[in-house]
Copies of this chain bind each other. A is one copy, B any other.
Amino acid sequence: MNALDVKAALGAVKKGHVMTQAAFDAAAPALRLDLIRLQQALRKADFPVLIVLEGVFGAGKSEFIQLLNEWMDPRWLITHAYPEKTDRTPPHPIFWRYWRDLVPDGQIEISLSGWYSAPLRDRAYKRLGKKKFTSALDDIVEFERTLTDDGVLILKYWFHLGKAIQKKRLKSLERNSLRHWQVTKRDWADWKRYDSFIATADALIARTDTASALWKIIDGGDPCRRCHTILTDLRDRLSAHLKARRLAARKKSKSPPKRRAVASSPDSLAKLDLTEAISKEDYGKEVERLRARLHDLYIRTKDEKIATIVVFEGWDAAGKGGCIRRLTSGLDARDYQIFPFAAPNDEERAHHYLWRFWRQVPKDGRIAIYDRSWYGRVLVERVEGFAQVAEWQRAYREINEFEGDLTDHGIELVKFWLHIDRDEQQKRFRERERTSFKRWKISQEDWRNRAKWDDYEIAVNDMVKRTSTPAAPWRLIEANSKPFARLKVIRTLCEAWEQRLDG
């Protein structure tokens, strides 16, 4: 929808014809039945529905939520309403709370005063410049696209009222001795800025009205017509989406067999010198020195409320656990948390793959260590075919956007790839098998993964090339020598923190 269309649409709603209560009552039973049946079909579907409500005060958003809760099974219909952020510097990235609250497949979420509210209000009150406003909207488009690409049905409704009608409604509410509390000073302040709000809404809708997440403008003037319009739209779009997803699922199961991967990115791994090593003595001295340096820096990041995420990826048996333990022994256990990520559980599988990683994003001043991470999408899920080709291919962009959200918020993101060669891995696997108390660390699956070494190598090189950004480059660690790798990991983190603190 371009800007002119929006203006026309916002204007047109004033002239909408009236729907009588009798007409609505006549249409209601069939519509209600349709919606119930669709909700039941949705329960078994592989996507959630996200209903976004925005608009002017008094245009009927709350009434719509009440009605939907009455008509549908409220157990699978969750409303999230967000208080205005009073905190000028929230401790998490902007989208963190929206990710955290996302409902799983099969459910409907209504988002009230969600991600559009802050840019809309701040811009209408001129607290936000045009450039930042546009950039905030672009972030929203990225956020919504990440969801819709995964199958989420996003329905966005703008509840509209003309300026004069809104004034009348505010006045009438105020005169009602029992309802006057619904009108606050802020509502009048907003009304005084009506034109600014609508101009901002106009720009906002034009910029965020994408093919996969359309806005629909709802005339809030007439309660019956308003409800009928939105419920009909909800029914039609949900029904169409259910059909489309079923069709897509059928196609997917017929997709051609996987071809072998072909190397296209430069072989960054080959450039590493795996003979790098260090004597036990030097290691002992150096590790103490580095730990003291690390501790000093970590106290400073804590003071400056910088959050850090350290990601560990690497070949099986590359020594991730050992590196993590050496790293954390220089930190205070109260300030970091280690998150080991294995295969997703049922609840996680019923969400976007990024959901479980978003949930663990640390607050300002804290450290999160991810033992494996979202890069599973472009590594194991790609190589094993758990993700469709289109899915892992678009994951590079999604990951870069996700990491952009983190680093834009000020999180220090340090990503390690621990690299060993085939022979070293075989040696370590065999040692694990020989040593009784290490045997649990090795399974048939490890040997199976090893057989796909070439495919993984291509996937790793692609990952390094496509997700090394200036704010979050990959740090490749030569790990044939465990002591060398452990030192380099701590040193690299020290350097990243130093650059951040002093740079």
When C-beta atoms are compared, the residue in chain B nearest to A441 turns out to be: B73
Which of A83, A296, A322 has the most chain B CB atoms closer than 10 A to its own CB?
Answer: A83
The answer to whether A181 touches B292 (Cβ under 8 A) is: yes
- Interface check A9, CB cutoff 8 A: no
Chain A residues with a Cβ closer than 8 Å to the other chain, count: 58
The answer to whether A66 touches B329 (Cβ under 8 A) is: yes
Task: Given the known inter-chain contacts A74-B338, A81-B333, A333-B81, please indicate yes or no for A325 contacting B69, CB distance below 8 A.
Answer: yes
When C-beta atoms are compared, the residue in chain B nearest to A181 turns out to be: B295
The answer to whether A112 touches B333 (Cβ under 8 A) is: yes
Residues from chain B with a CB closer than 8 A to the CB of A71 are: 437
Residues from chain B with a CB closer than 8 A to the CB of A113 are: 334
State how many angstroms separate the Cβ of A497 from the closest Cβ of chain B. 15
- Interface check A11, CB cutoff 8 A: no
Binds B, one of A29-37, A200-208, A475-483: A29-37
* Count of this chain's copies in the oligomeric assembly: 2
When C-beta atoms are compared, the residue in chain B nearest to A176 turns out to be: B288
Within 8 A of B (CB), among A272-292: 288-289, 291-292
Contact of A346 (CB < 8 Å), options: B177, B178, B296, B346: B346
Within 8 A of B (CB), among A60-104: 62, 65-66, 69-71, 73-75, 79-84
State how many angstroms separate the Cβ of A345 from the closest Cβ of chain B. 7
Task: Given the known inter-chain contacts A178-B289, A181-B296, please indicate yes or no for A74 contacting B321, CB distance below 8 A.
Answer: yes
- Interface check A448, CB cutoff 8 A: no
Rounded to whole angstroms, the CA-CA distance of A391 and B379 in the bound complex is 46
Question: What sequence of 0s and 1s flags, for each residue 327-359 of chain A, a beta carbon within 8 Å of any chain B beta carbon?
Answer: 011001111011010100111000000000000
When C-beta atoms are compared, the residue in chain B nearest to A328 turns out to be: B66
Residues from chain B with a CB closer than 8 A to the CB of A84 are: 334
Rounded to whole angstroms, the CA-CA distance of A84 and B441 in the bound complex is 36
The answer to whether B340 touches A70 (Cβ under 8 A) is: no
When C-beta atoms are compared, the residue in chain B nearest to A178 turns out to be: B288
- Interface check A40, CB cutoff 8 A: yes
Contact of A292 (CB < 8 Å), options: B82, B179, B325, B334: B179
- Interface check A444, CB cutoff 8 A: no
Rounded to whole angstroms, the CA-CA distance of A177 and B288 in the bound complex is 9
Residues from chain B with a CB closer than 8 A to the CB of A325 are: 66, 69-70
The answer to whether B340 touches A81 (Cβ under 8 A) is: no
- Interface check A401, CB cutoff 8 A: no
State how many angstroms separate the Cβ of A456 from the closest Cβ of chain B. 21
The answer to whether A83 touches B335 (Cβ under 8 A) is: yes
- Interface check A253, CB cutoff 8 A: no
Closest 9 CB pairs of A and B: A81-B333, A178-B288, A32-B437, A75-B340, A81-B334, A178-B292, A33-B437, A83-B334, A181-B295
Interface CB pairs A-B, < 8 A, 19 = A29-B437, A36-B437, A62-B333, A65-B333, A66-B328, A70-B321, A70-B325, A71-B437, A73-B440, A79-B333, A81-B335, A82-B334, A112-B334, A113-B334, A177-B292, A178-B289, A182-B295, A345-B346, A345-B347
A interface residues (Cβ-Cβ under 8 A, vs B): 29, 32-33, 36, 39-40, 62, 65-66, 69-71, 73-75, 79-84, 112-113, 177-182, 288-289, 291-292, 295-296, 299, 321-322, 324-325, 328-329, 332-335, 337-338, 340, 342, 345-347, 371, 436-437, 440-441
20 additional A-B pairs beyond A71-B437, A83-B335, beta carbons within 8 Å, are: A32-B437, A40-B440, A62-B333, A69-B321, A74-B338, A79-B337, A80-B337, A81-B334, A81-B335, A82-B334, A83-B334, A84-B334, A112-B333, A113-B334, A178-B291, A179-B288, A181-B295, A345-B346, A345-B347, A346-B347
